[in-house]
Amino acid sequence: MAMPHILLFSVFVVAACGLAYELVAAALSSYLIGDSVTQFSTVIGVYLFAMGVGSWLSRHVHRDLAGTFIRVELAVGLIGGFSAAMLFWAFVWISGPFLLLLYLLVFLIGTMVGLEIPLVMRLLEPKLQFKELVSQVLSVDYLGALAVSLLFPLWLAPKLGMVRTALLFGLLNAGVALWTLWLFRQELPRPRLLWAQGSLVVALLTAGFIGADKLSSLAETALYEDSIVLSESTPYQRIVMTRWKDDWRLFLNNNLQFSSRDEYRYHEALVHPGLASLPWARRVLVLGGGDGMAVREILKYPHIEQITLVELDPAMPRLFREHPALRKLNGDALNSPRVRIHTTDAFGWLAQSRESFDFVVVDFPDPSNYAVGKLYTNTFYRLLERNLNARGRAVIQTTSPLFARLSFWTVVNTVESVGLLSQPYHAQVPSFGEWGYVLVGREAYTPPSQLPAGLRYLSPASLPGLFHFPPDMARLPSEVNRLNNQILVRTFEQEWKQVLR
C-alpha cells in the first residue's frame, strides 16, 4: 500500500478514535449524572471548541511533522484510552470536582485530536494536489466518524462497556503512531526513543484492556455500598444488582429501582388499588416493569387471562427470567404462560397497537431525561387512552409528591389534559420515601372492598388513606408536559437537585 493511502487510512482511524472518546465521555457522564441531553450537548460543545484550538495550534509546528504527529497519537491514545477509567474512578472518589475533571479531560483530548488532521494533511501535502488532499482527507474523516457512531451504540457500548471501548480506541491511536513511525523511520531524528515510547503506551493500554473488568468492578464496588452480584451494560443502560444479606437491590444507571426488603410496598400500591376495582378485567398491559415484580402482583388475580409486558431493554426480562435469585424475587412471574413479552419501545408499540386492555400498568423510570420524558407527555397519554377499554383503568407511577411535588402534579395535569379522570394517591416506601401514583380512567373511581389474600402492605381498611394528601403534598398549579417542550424533565431535575444538596 502506497504511503498516501496508508496516511489516509490513518485519518479514518483517528477520526473514529476522536469521536469514540467524545461519545464515551458524554455517555459515561450521562450514566453517572443523568440528564443525557445536557451532558451530550456540553461535552460535544467543549470537544468541538477544543478541536478548533488544536487546529489553530498546529500552525506553530514547523519542524519534525512526523515526529510531532506520532507523539500526539501516543498521547491521545494513552489519555483517551484511560479516559473512561479515570472518569469512573473520579466519580467514585472525588465526586465534587467530577464535572471539572470531565471538561478538562474532554478539552485536552479534543485539543490533541484537533492537531491530528492538520498534521496529516501537511504530511500528505507533497504527495497530493491540494484539491485531492482536502477532498480525500475530509471524506475519510467523515467516514471514520460515521463508522464509530454506528458501532458505538450497536456493539461497542453493550459488548465492551465504556472502559474497554476507550482502551480499544487508545490502542488504535497507538497503532497509528507505530505505523507512522515505521513509514517515516528514515526521516525521524530519534526513532528508537519513539519506538520505546510507543511500546510502553501499547503495553499499558493492553494491560488496561485485559484488566478492564477488574478496573470497572473495583470502581463499582466503591460506588455501591453492598456487594455487586451482577452487572451488565446494554445499549440502553447500566444494570447493577447488589446484595447485602437478604437485601437485593437493582440499580439502573446508578439509580436505585428497588430494594427487595420493601419493593412489595411499591408494587402492591402500584397494582392493587386499580386492578382490585375491576373484577371483570381479563387483559392487562404492563409498560416497563421488566423485572416482573408488577406482573407477580397481577398474577394474584385468577380471572386475568393474559398479561402483555412491553419492555425496551431485552436484558431486563432475560435476567429476571433466567437468574435463579431474581426469578425467586418475582415469583417466576415472567415464565408464566399467561405472560407475553415484547422488547421494544413502548411509545412506538402503543402507536402501532390496535389491542385494547382492561387495565394498564405504566411503570417507567422517573423522567430524568428526554428519552424517558416523552413517555410522560400528553401525546403518550393519548395513545394510552386509545388502547384502554371503555370501562378500563390505568395506573402510572408518578415520582414523589413530597420531594418532587410540582413534577407529580404536572403528570396528573398532563393525564387530565387528554380527557381522562384522575385519582392521585401515594404510599410510603422506605427506600424512596413518599411515592406517588395516579389512577386514570373514563369513569369515577371507587376503592375496592376486597384485595387478594396474602398482601403484606395493603388492606381494604388502609386504602382510603392513600388518597389523602396533606398540605405539604397538596396539588400545585402546573403546565401540561408536551412532546415539543418536555417541561417535566427540567422540573424533575431541579426538584431532585434541591433534595440531594
Residue located via cell numbers 465521555: 25
Residue located via cell numbers 472518589: 93
Q: What is the pLDDT of residue 34?
A: 62
Q: What is the pLDDT of residue 3?
A: 62
Contact (CB, 8 A) for 266 and 432 = yes
3-state secondary structure (DSSP) of residue 88: helix
- Cα separation of 109 and 416, whole Å? 49
Contacts of residue 121, defined as CB under 8 A and 6 or more positions apart, other chains included, come to: 133, 134, 137
Q: Which 8-state DSSP code applies to residue 248? A: E
- Cα separation of 156 and 169, whole Å? 11
286: cell is: 404492563
Q: What is the pLDDT of residue 159?
A: 78
Residue type, 105: L
- Cα separation of 469 and 475, whole Å? 8
Q: What is the pLDDT of residue 171?
A: 95
3-state secondary structure (DSSP) of residue 256: strand
- Closest to 264 measured CA to CA, from 302, 293, 299: 293
Residue located via cell numbers 417542550: 485
Q: Which 8-state DSSP code applies to residue 58? A: G
- Cα separation of 348 and 360, whole Å? 16
Of the candidates 35, 313, 363, 366, the residue annotated as catalytic is 363
- Closest to 9 measured CA to CA, from 155, 167, 139: 139
> For the residues of 75-107, what is the DSSP string, one character each?
HHHHHHHTHHHHHHHHHHH--TTHHHHHHHHHH
Contact (CB, 8 A) for 480 and 381 = no
Residue type, 475: R
- Closest to 396 measured CA to CA, from 371, 427, 360: 360
The 10 Å CB-count burial string (b at 16+, else e) for 345-376 is: bbbebbeebeeebbbbbbbbbbbbbbbbbbbb
Is 363 annotated in the active site? Answer: yes
Q: Which residues pair with 251 in a beta bridge?
A: 240, 256
Contacts of residue 369, defined as CB under 8 A and 6 or more positions apart, other chains included, come to: 30, 34, 35, 36, 37, 489
Residue type, 99: L
Strands 238-244 vs 227-233: parallel, antiparallel or unpaired: antiparallel
Contact (CB, 8 A) for 393 and 439 = yes
- Cα separation of 169 and 14, whole Å? 9
Sheet strands side by side (includes 227-233): 227-233, 238-244, 247-252, 255-259
Phi, psi at 308, each rounded to 5°:
-105, 120
Residues of the chain with pLDDT under 70: 1-5, 31, 33-37, 93-96, 127-131, 133-134, 217-220, 222, 500-501
If one counts every other C-beta atom within 10 angstroms of the C-beta of residue 63, the result is: 7
